[in-house]
Amino acid sequence: MALYVQKFGGTSVGSVERIKAVAEKVKRFRDEGHQVVVVVSAMSGETNRLIDLASQINDEPTPREMDMLVSTGEQVTSSLLAMALHKLDVAATSYTGGQVGIQTDSAYTRARIQRIETDDIQADLDDGQVVVVAGFQGVDDEGNITTLGRGGSDTTGVALAAALKADECQIYTDVDGVYTTDPRVCSKAQRLSSITVEEMLELASLGSKVLQIRAVEFAGKYNVPLRVLSSFEDGPGTLIVAEEEEASMEEPLISGIAFTSSEAKLTLLNTPDVPGVASKILGPIADANIEIDMIVQNVAPAGDYTDFTFTVAKSDFKQTRSILQDQVIPALGGGELRGDENIAKVSLVGVGMRSHAGVASKMFRVLADENINIRMVSTSEIKISVVIDEKQMELAVRALHSAFGLDKDSIQGE
């Protein structure tokens, strides 16, 4: 007998039929003798419906009232799923986040879980009940309803699994696992049977939106075995594990390739290399709440001029360019501005990189062989990212996927 926390997202509970299908799936686990806690999102479309109502009433609703409003979506699903389980003669009780003892801070719309009181859930489980929990929400110390931010139901699931010391937290989504890269771009992409938390974090932050980053961090921190599976078809999915538990004997060099064309690049050439130049460039941009991703700085050999390049979201490109032109260049006393919106970032991710030299040089060679020009490079311990021309992104992904042995027929043991 195992204890599973199972999280079903909005698409998985998007209709009466799908809620019934989730109940059938949960019942199969109960029939096998397992204990089950189910975390549900709002039915797909419901959260947007509520946000739309709010926006018709107040263009700047307070975060507290937004949480009061949108938290109802998950509550509705939780009660409907309990009813669907009852229909199958499965004992079940639904709870809001607050009822089930999920205590958060008071940072409305992006609250953080502080503690979970599991006594009541454990009593229900011991009593043979399936416990259905409205995801994405909790209450603060004063009993106000809070939400954990978009995708927060994943976090609810992992946090409950950690608090209950569950055997596995299963995240049911509309994909059947984590892939080596996006199958829509590379037809030879394949599902990974397992991946480490760190790799998953790099892939998630780079644009593979299977799981919310915070949930993965949480799983890593509390050592919760996390599995991504499909709601709609049976299969083993992808297990996300702490590195030391990685099952595969022969660890592949690279686990996956992430890519995005949602960024733009800005370069300041020939800026006087005064002390603190980087903060003088990035400070005004951060003040405007613009997030910066990659940063590269080259100092000229003579040491008195510097070239400074960084990327921002495409949607922030124009505003960032104005800030540089109007504030930063005058403040620095010189510099020449270049911008490029037609870029893509392609990243290799893999813990194997740590112990293998030569990943970067192999990556550059593969791209050179395809006549792909590298504009920018950034590395971390388990990741190498390059910025290239947006038009060459898919070509780069496919060439790297093949060269690093990720193509369907080249990995075994799946």
- To the question of whether residue 135 is assigned a binding role by annotation, the answer is no
Q: What tokens does 33 get?
A: 């003798």
- To the question of whether residue 9 is assigned a binding role by annotation, the answer is yes
Q: Which residues pair with 115 in a beta bridge?
A: 103
Burial of residue 302 (number of CB atoms within 10 Å: 0-12, 13-18, 19+): exposed
Q: What tokens does 290 get?
A: 């613009």
Judged by CB under 8 A, does residue 126 bind a second copy? Answer: no
Of the candidates 264, 292, 252, 286, the residue with the CA atom closest to the CA atom of residue 407: 252
Measure the CA dihedral 81/82/87/88, to 10°.
Answer: 90
- To the question of whether residue 77 is assigned a binding role by annotation, the answer is no
The CA distances from residue 406 to 187, 230, 254, in Å, are: 11, 22, 8
> x/- binding map, residues 303-322, to a second copy, per CB under 8 A?
--------------------
Residue 151 is which amino acid? G
Judged by CB under 8 A, does residue 20 bind a second copy? Answer: yes
What is the C-alpha to C-alpha distance for residues 172 and 41, in angstroms, rounded to an integer?
11
- To the question of whether residue 10 is assigned a binding role by annotation, the answer is yes
Judged by CB under 8 A, does residue 109 bind a second copy? Answer: no
CB of 66 to a second copy, least distance (A): 8
Of the candidates 252, 80, 64, the residue with the CA atom closest to the CA atom of residue 143: 64
- To the question of whether residue 47 is assigned a binding role by annotation, the answer is yes
> x/- binding map, residues 136-165, to a second copy, per CB under 8 A?
-------xxx--------------------
Judged by CB under 8 A, does residue 16 bind a second copy? Answer: yes
- What is the helix (H) or strand (E) element at residue 380, kind and residue range? strand 376-380
Site for a second copy in 41-100 (CB under 8 A): 50, 53-54, 56-58, 61-62, 64-66, 68-69, 71-72, 75-76, 78-80, 82-84, 86-87, 93-94, 96, 99
How many residues sit in the footprint of a second copy (CB under 8 A)? 35
- To the question of whether residue 303 is assigned a binding role by annotation, the answer is no
Q: Contact residues for a second copy (CB under 8 A)? A: 16, 19-20, 50, 53-54, 56-58, 61-62, 64-66, 68-69, 71-72, 75-76, 78-80, 82-84, 86-87, 93-94, 96, 99, 143-145
- Which residues does the annotation place in the binding site for ATP? 7-10, 173-174, 179, 184, 209-210
